[in-house]
């Protein structure tokens, strides 16, 4: 140490001789934040003598410089420790944010993250790419606003099943997603050639995907999209608050609770390919609104009541009117042992009332159903009444029905009487006129292969043609013979008030349908039907051509899971 001091002293002595007198030694500059450097000892001002400094003087200066170096070294170590702590805090914060948005390397069911496990492929075990991962920066609130209090979301392990539909859910079933698919492919062959627009050919009346499930036990949801005859649209979109089986609240877009064959029977389980003529033409169908519904008296009574936008099959309200719709259905002998044949006898009624001020919906009345757009004659349907272009709905509208449905062993028997009225007006007749409606249908189905029914729902054949389970006995599937008579009649005022042309159209239509339903298994169904339509007077089926009746062979293949 002494030899190094002496060497340094010699060098320093030479530098001092060249630089001249030094008034005062300058302290070292401070170290940048986090904290300013402490005050350094300041060497005592000295005047350089004319004679060279002694070794003792050089040694004293060297000791002062060494003390300054020690102070700077301590401050540097302290600054390094503070920087290391800040880096650690930043790393911990980054780790927390990464857990919030989901770690792409995490396994399904790991704690933390966004509650969604990574889906792995069935072969290589590689996570399916998520092309949105990392694309969006974590949300940072504006200064003065606290972070979200949802700081530690959970991941829940999921289990996946099939039947019916693909389902993923947590083990406690509090969170669930189901995916269903409906596909209908059909051929229609009209006996009369040259009809417009009732063309013979192949059609896709329904192509639908359903997403439904629940977020916690009491909040259920459904989203469905549809490709109908004419386009792609939103079919259902609603939330259902399942507070209790006796009282539930549904809000969004869904089927209104009107007519038994619309509200109580899904289209894939109908006895015939489509619903009755009255329901197809006049029912409110799907609307946006809110509805309370549930089951009472040990599930012997169903009820529903709600308020909806007034337009039929609507997406948005076309006027300020709101429809009030109610439905009730009772099974009075459901628990009876002495009247076991009447256990699944259903009786009830439904009603819809509102005020309309809009273009008429529907503007075209027809047989054979099929089109989701009530204002345009659907492909492969026969119109029997088209209102004049200047007609509007203006005033009260009332629709109602009384129904009976009986299911015993292999027999389904359903009947409904339907009634109502609407108010119409034109530019030349501004005061509205009441036009009455009436209709009915009676339908029946009977399983020749022994399957038994309690309501119109999924049917599992006793001997499926294509078994779903490997242990199911294979056979010819389930065969159901079926038929229906359906009628819609519109009051004569539709002609006498100038709302339609009686030389072109009829104010009534009656259809008779007979055929077979063939269930290959619980997911695949074939309809094979003959439809015969009768009109109250000849109707135009092409320019210059008229017919009193129409006949069609109807073959439909349906998949629903």
Q: Is residue 54, in this structure, part of any structural domain at all?
A: yes
For residue range 317-333, list pLDDT tens digits in order. Answer: 767 779 999 999 999 99
Point out the domain boundary residue: 47, 76, 98. Answer: 98
For the segment 14-22, the average pLDDT, to the nearest whole number, is 39
Q: Is residue 280, in this structure, part of any structural domain at all?
A: yes
State whether 451 and 332 are in the same domain: yes
The whole-number pLDDT of residue 73 equals 77
State whether 178 and 86 are in the same domain: no
For residue range 481-522, list pLDDT tens digits in order. Answer: 999 999 999 999 999 999 999 999 999 999 999 999 999 999
State whether 169 and 306 are in the same domain: yes
Q: Is residue 113, in this structure, part of any structural domain at all?
A: no
Point out the domain boundary residue: 69, 98, 127. Answer: 98
State whether 384 and 522 are in the same domain: yes
Q: Is residue 154, in this structure, part of any structural domain at all?
A: no
Are residues 411 and 446 in contact, defined by beta-carbon separation less than 8 angstroms? yes
The per-residue pLDDT of the chain, averaged, comes to 82
Length of the chain as a residue count? 561
Q: What is the pTM of this model?
A: 0.73
Query: For residue 191, what are its two tokens?
Result: 């006996």
State whether 217 and 308 are in the same domain: yes
Point out the domain boundary residue: 98, 123, 147. Answer: 98
CATH number, position 415: 2.40.160.10
Of 36, 56, 32, 38, nearest to 46 (Cα)?
A: 56
Q: Is residue 375, in this structure, part of any structural domain at all?
A: yes
Give the helix/strand (H/E) hosting 218.
Answer: none
State whether 355 and 248 are in the same domain: yes
Q: Is residue 306, in this structure, part of any structural domain at all?
A: yes
The whole-number pLDDT of residue 153 equals 62
> Backbone dihedral region of 94: left (phi > 0), alpha (psi from -120 to 50 degrees) or beta?
alpha
State whether 299 and 407 are in the same domain: yes
* Tokens 């995916």 found at: 179
DSSP string, 8-63: HHHHHHHHHHHH---S-PPPPPPPPTTSPPPPPPPPPP-PPPSSPPPHHHHHHHHH
State whether 62 and 203 are in the same domain: no
Query: For residue 184, what are its two tokens?
Result: 């209908």
Are residues 533 and 367 in contact, defined by beta-carbon separation less than 8 angstroms? yes
Q: Is residue 121, in this structure, part of any structural domain at all?
A: no
For residue range 155-208, list pLDDT tens digits in order. Answer: 788 999 998 899 999 999 999 999 999 999 999 999 988 887 788 889 888 899
Rounded CA separation 497/495 (Å): 5
State whether 212 and 307 are in the same domain: yes
State whether 281 and 424 are in the same domain: yes
The whole-number pLDDT of residue 145 equals 65
Q: Which domain holds residue 368?
A: 159-221+229-312+321-560
State whether 365 and 256 are in the same domain: yes
State whether 459 and 537 are in the same domain: yes
Cβ neighbour number for residue 332 with a 10 Å cutoff: 15
For residue range 38-64, list pLDDT tens digits in order. Answer: 444 444 444 455 567 787 777 787 788
DSSP string, 475-526: -S-EEEEEEEEEEEEE-THHHHTTSS-TTT--SEEEEEEEEEEEESSSSEEE
Q: Is residue 409, in this structure, part of any structural domain at all?
A: yes
Residue 282 has pLDDT above 70, yes or no: yes
Of 280, 190, 288, nearest to 235 (Cα)?
A: 288
For the segment 389-401, the average pLDDT, to the nearest whole number, is 95
Asked, as a colleague might, if the bond just before 164 is cis with ω within 30 of 0, I would say: yes
The domain tally of the chain equals 2
User: CA angle, 74 as apex, 69 and 77 as ends, to 5°?
Assistant: 125
């Amino acid at each position: 140490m002494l030899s190094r001091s002496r060497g340094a002293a010699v060098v320093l002595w030479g530098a001092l001789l060249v630089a001249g007198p030094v008034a005062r030694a300058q302290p070292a500059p401070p170290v940048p934040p986090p904290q300013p450097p402490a005050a350094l000892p300041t060497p005592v001002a000295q005047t350089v003598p004319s004679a060279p400094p002694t070794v003792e003087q050089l040694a004293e200066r060297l000791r002062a410089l060494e003390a300054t170096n020690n102070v700077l070294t301590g401050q540097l170590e302290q600054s390094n420790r503070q920087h290391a702590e800040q880096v650690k805090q930043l790393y911990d914060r980054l780790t927390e944010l990464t857990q919030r948005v989901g770690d792409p390397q995490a396994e399904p069911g790991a704690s933390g993250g966004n509650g969604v496990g990574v889906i792995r492929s069935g072969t290589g075990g590689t996570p399916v790419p998520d092309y949105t991962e990392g694309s969006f920066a974590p949300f940072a609130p504006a200064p003065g606003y606290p972070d979200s209090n949802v700081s530690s979301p959970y991941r829940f392990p999921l289990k996946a099943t099939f039947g019916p539909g693909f389902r993923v859910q947590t083990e406690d079933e509090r969170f669930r997603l189901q995916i269903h698919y409906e596909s209908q492919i059909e051929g229609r062959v009209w006996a009369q050639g040259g009809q417009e627009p009732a063309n013979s050919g192949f059609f896709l009346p329904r192509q639908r995907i359903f997403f439904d499930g629940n977020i916690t036990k009491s909040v259920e949801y459904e989203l469905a999209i549809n490709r109908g005859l004419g386009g792609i649209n939103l079919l259902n979109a609603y939330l259902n608050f399942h507070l209790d089986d006796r009282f539930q609240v549904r809000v969004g877009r869904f089927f209104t609770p009107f007519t038994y064959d619309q509200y109580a029977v899904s289209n894939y389980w109908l006895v015939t390919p489509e619903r009755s003529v009255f329901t197809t033409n006049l029912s409110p169908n799907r609307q946006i609104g809110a509805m309370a519904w549930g089951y009472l008296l040990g599930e012997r009574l169903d009820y529903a009541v709600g308020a909806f936008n007034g337009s039929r099959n609507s997406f948005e309200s076309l006027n300020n009117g709101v429809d009030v719709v109610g439905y009730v259905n009772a099974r009075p002998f459901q628990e009876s042992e002495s009247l076991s044949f009447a256990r699944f006898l259903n009786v009830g009624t439904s009603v819809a009332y509102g005020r309309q001020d809009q273009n008429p919906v529907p503007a075209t009345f027809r047989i054979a159903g099929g089109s989701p757009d009530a204002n345009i004659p659907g492909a492969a349907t026969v119109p029997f009444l088209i209102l004049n272009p200047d007609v509007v709905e203006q005033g009260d509208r009332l629709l109602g029905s009384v129904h009976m449905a009986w299911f015993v062993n292999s027999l389904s028997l359903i009947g409904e009487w339907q009634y109502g009225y609407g108010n119409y007006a034109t530019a030349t007749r501004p005061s509205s006129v009441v036009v009455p409606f009436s209709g009915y249908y009676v339908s029946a189905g009977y399983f020749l292969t022994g399957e038994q029914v309690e309501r119109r729902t999924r049917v599992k054949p006793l001997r499926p043609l294509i078994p779903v389970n490997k242990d199911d006995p294979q056979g010819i599937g389930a065969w159901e013979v079926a038929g229906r008579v359906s009628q819609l009649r519109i009051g004569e005022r539709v002609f006498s008030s100038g709302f339609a042309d009686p030389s072109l159209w009829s104010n009534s239509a009656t259809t008779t349908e007979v055929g077979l339903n063939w269930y290959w298994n619980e997911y695949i169904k074939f309809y094979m039907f003959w439809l015969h339509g009768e009109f109250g007077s000849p109707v135009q089926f092409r320019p210059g051509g008229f017919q009193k009746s129409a006949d069609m062979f109807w073959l439909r293949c349906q998949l629903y899971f």
